[in-house]
Amino acid sequence: MGILEIKQLYKSFGCHEVLNGLDMDVPEHSIFGFVGQNGAGKTTTMKIILGLLKPDSGSVTVCGEKVTYGETKTNRNIGFLPDVPEFYGYMNPMEYLKLCGEITGLTKYKIELKCEELLELVGLKYEKKKKIGGFSRGMKQRLGIAQALLNEPKLLICDEPTSALDPVGRKEILDILSAAKGKTTILFSTHILSDVERVCDRIAVLHGGKIALSGTLSEMKDRYRHNGFVLEFENEKEACFFENAEELKKPEISLSRNKNVVTVLMTGRDMDGHFLLCILSQKRITPLKFTVMEPTLESLFMEVVR
Amino acid sequence: MTGYLAFLKKEVIEYIRTYKLFIMLIVFAVFGITNPLMAKLMPEILESLATDGVIITFPEPTAYDAWTQFFKNATQIGLVVIVILFSGILSSELSKGTLINLLTKGLSRTAVILSKFTCMVMAWTVSIALCFGLTYGYTMYLFPEDQTSNLLFSVLCLWLFGLFLLAALLFSASLTKSNYGCLLITGVVVLVCMLMNIIPALHKYNPISLSTDNIGLIVNSIDVTSLYSVILISCLLSLIFVSLSVLIFRKKQL
Amino acid sequence: MDLAVLKEYFPFLIPLIILQIVLSITALIHVLRHPRYRFGNKVMWVLVVLFIQFIGPALYFALGRGEE
């Protein structure tokens, strides 16, 4: 059973339908990448999970408990990091974390312990007595993670944690998330695909208010692997010769040539690299390079979104 | 309950560190001192303004004049300052998103509203007490012979009116998204009370009587018992406003 | 105003002056240490805070003070 289950979720703002029958299942101890374009409904989904927005219909279950709008009972299992976390500027990180700890009902001793540990984890140990008002975006984001992990949540929800940051800040956040992986399940929304590839083990692509694609990263790459090959020849003449071979004139095969490089895409089931190698040996051509095209997350994403 | 206390603590820190409490205390302290002073100086000021040849004599100022100043300033300027200071009580947290974090930590929305109300009432109580204490001390010093009646009761009425106003403010804040909307609705509530005051029959039940009958109480022209019904009504209305704020805020999409 | 009259009002003037000084200095320190305002600039706020009695500092804290 997954730690988070969403069934047939519908939500519209006015006549604008944002979620259109969303189904999702997040298994325990995964880093789940929740990918979608801007405005695809990622934040809306997360707010519904947190009970901050009321869904039109459908159900959300966290750790086997149903989420009801306006009540925050299920939130004790959840840690949430908003896209741009805002804190009280007149407090320092220590005071803020203590406030959060008191709200979640941790004991005084536990709060003390956890605060030190988390500030260490997110690298704000030396800033713990400085006013949050003077913090940079990245520092606030790190404090946001500390705050979200305070009650040892079973599910950590991060809404675009890296979008507003520079490359250094992004790397820091991703490292912290990877470090937290063993302790909690992470649902991580983003539109930056390289981040997903770096830390996530499962992804779901949200498009048109539904999950258009989901699975583990390797599974998805396998499923969407094209029989695509790139062949580089010694000169343009050989490339042309290969390109115009009779055996390749089939509807399942599409060819494109750029000078002495030919790209072959095959959609037929029984066609693979051997088929091309046979043609090459028949024609007695030796290519300089023969490479299999790896599908990138970007190409997958573009395909789904189109 | 833990959420309520933790959030109340945060509110107190906020009032202190954002200088809200500081401004309130200074404003009310200044009033507290100037009320009796103005009462004392008013005849002299008016006399110096009078043109030559015309001799106008003013009656000797008394403690009543000091208290008239007190009730006028505390209601007209003091409460306005308070309402303006607190107009962003919910909207600033909602627009900045500082509340989202805490709500997702399991803080109940009821606790948010109740602790905000508690803290506002606490600040108002401290301010009015400070102002009253200073005015009282200086009035005793300037006009030691004058006796007043029902003074504490009269101030208590004013305090209750402030509480009613803060409840209305909180209700307005839960209805709108901006602090201007909040100011507007609070203004409308006060205006309705003022308009209703035109009808004498309603005077006994109108919360605004709590802020208009104070002098009458002190000079004994208004009987204490005549205010019992309006005290009851104001308490009830405040309770209704706060309960409504809780209900509305619980249903608010954030 | 002669000295006798002034003396009579000492108990009023002294606390008022102290309040004004406390208010001005608190506001001045804040203006100098937090150089971001919702509007206006440092010079303007320093003048407002120092030379407009009571209302100047109150205005600064209520309207001019920038976000932390």
Q: Chunk chain A into consecutive blocks of 10 residues (it has 306) and report each block's average pLDDT, rounded to whole numbers.
A: 86 87 88 86 88 88 84 82 88 92 89 90 87 88 90 88 84 86 87 84 87 82 72 85 80 80 75 80 86 74 73
Residues A217 and A232 in one domain: no
Per-residue DSSP letter, B27 = H
Q: Which residue of C has its CA nearest to A131?
A: C68
Q: Looking at residues B46-53, what average pLDDT do you find?
A: 71
CA dist B146 and B64 (Å) reads 8
Q: Which chains touch C (3 or more CB pairs under 8 A)?
A: A, B
- Any CB–CB contact under 8 A between B116 and chain A? no
Residues A188 and A290 in one domain: no
- Any CB–CB contact under 8 A between B251 and chain A? yes
Number of domains in chain C: 1
Residues A209 and A141 in one domain: yes
Provide the pLDDT for residue B53: 65
- Tell me which chain C residues have a C-beta less than 8 angstroms from the C-beta of A89: 67-68
Residues of B (31-50) whose Cβ lies below 8 Å from C: 33-34, 36-37
Q: Which residue of C has its CA nearest to A87?
A: C68
**Which is more confidently placed, A271 or C22?**
C22
Residues of A (34-63) whose Cβ lies below 8 Å from B: 47, 50, 52-54
Residues A149 and A256 in one domain: no
CA dist B44 and A153 (Å) reads 71
* pLDDT above 60 (res B85): yes
Residues A296 and A266 in one domain: yes
Residues A172 and A246 in one domain: no
Domain ranges of chain B: 2-251
* pLDDT above 80 (res B78): yes
Of the ranges A196-210, B34-48, B166-180, B231-245, which one carries the lowest mean pLDDT score? Answer: B34-48
Neighbours of B1 (CB within 10 A): 8
Q: Looking at residues B140-158, what average pLDDT do you find?
A: 88
Pair of tokens at residue A35: 């990918």
Provide the pLDDT for residue B241: 96
- Tell me which chain B residues have a C-beta less than 8 angstroms from the C-beta of C58: 23, 26-27, 81
- Any CB–CB contact under 8 A between C67 and chain A? yes
Neighbours of A254 (CB within 10 A): 13
Q: Looking at residues B232-250, what average pLDDT do you find?
A: 95
Pair of tokens at residue B111: 């606790």
Contact B30 C19 (CB under 8 A): yes
Residues A121 and A215 in one domain: yes
- Tell me which chain A residues have a C-beta less than 8 angstroms from the C-beta of B103: 52, 72, 75
Beta bridge partners of A230: A263, A291
Contact A103 B17 (CB under 8 A): no
Question: Which residue among A79, A103, A150 sits closest to B107, beta carbon to beta carbon?
Answer: A103
- Tell me which chain C residues have a C-beta less than 8 angstroms from the C-beta of A135: none
Number of domains in chain A: 2
Domain boundary (A192, A221, A250) is at A221
Q: Which residue of C has its CA nearest to B19?
A: C61
Provide the pLDDT for residue B236: 96
Q: Which residue of C has its CA nearest to A135?
A: C68
Q: What is the CATH number of the domain that holds A119?
A: 3.40.50.300
Contact B109 A88 (CB under 8 A): no
Residues A248 and A191 in one domain: no
Sign of CA dihedral B173, B112, A54, A188: positive
Q: Which residue of B has its CA nearest to A145?
A: B101
| Domain region containing C57 | 3-64
- Tell me which chain B residues have a C-beta less than 8 angstroms from the C-beta of A95: 13
| Domain region containing A37 | 4-221
Residues A295 and A159 in one domain: no
Q: Looking at residues C42-57, what average pLDDT do you find?
A: 87
* Mode of pairing for the β-strands spanning A155-159 and A185-190: parallel
Contact A90 C67 (CB under 8 A): no
Domain boundary (A221, A246, A281) is at A221
Q: Which residue of B has its CA nearest to C13?
A: B33
Residues A155 and A237 in one domain: no
| Residue position matching structure tokens 């490479």 | A291
The type of residue at A94 is M
Contact A53 B253 (CB under 8 A): yes
Residue A100 Cα, gap to closest chain B Cα (Å): 7
Residue B129 Cα, gap to closest chain A Cα (Å): 27
* Mode of pairing for the β-strands spanning A210-216 and A202-207: antiparallel
* Edge-to-edge order in the sheet of strand A78-81: A78-81, A155-159, A185-190, A31-36, A202-207, A210-216
Residue B1 Cα, gap to closest chain A Cα (Å): 9
Q: Which three-class secondary structure state does DSSP give residue A225? A: coil
Domain boundary (A199, A221, A243) is at A221
CA dist B106 and A105 (Å) reads 9
Q: How many CA atoms lie within 13 A of A14 on its CB side?
A: 1
Number of CB pairs, chain A paired with chain C, less than 8 A apart: 8
A190: CB partners within 8 A, 6+ apart: A33, A34, A35, A160, A161, A162, A163, A196
Residues A147 and A182 in one domain: yes
Residues A171 and A229 in one domain: no
Pair of tokens at residue B143: 């006009």
Q: Which residue of C has its CA nearest to B17?
A: C68
Q: Which long-range contacts (CB under 8 A, 24 or more apart) does B217-224 make?
A: B217/B149, B217/B150, B217/B153, B217/B154, B217/B157, B218/B64, B218/B67, B218/B148, B218/B149, B218/B150, B218/B151, B218/B154, B219/B64, B219/B148, B219/B149, B220/B149, B220/B150, B224/B150, B224/B153
Residue whose C-alpha is closest to residue A124's, from A151, A100, A96, A155: A96
Q: Which chains touch B (3 or more CB pairs under 8 A)?
A: A, C
What's the pLDDT band for B173 if we cut at 50, 70, 90? very high
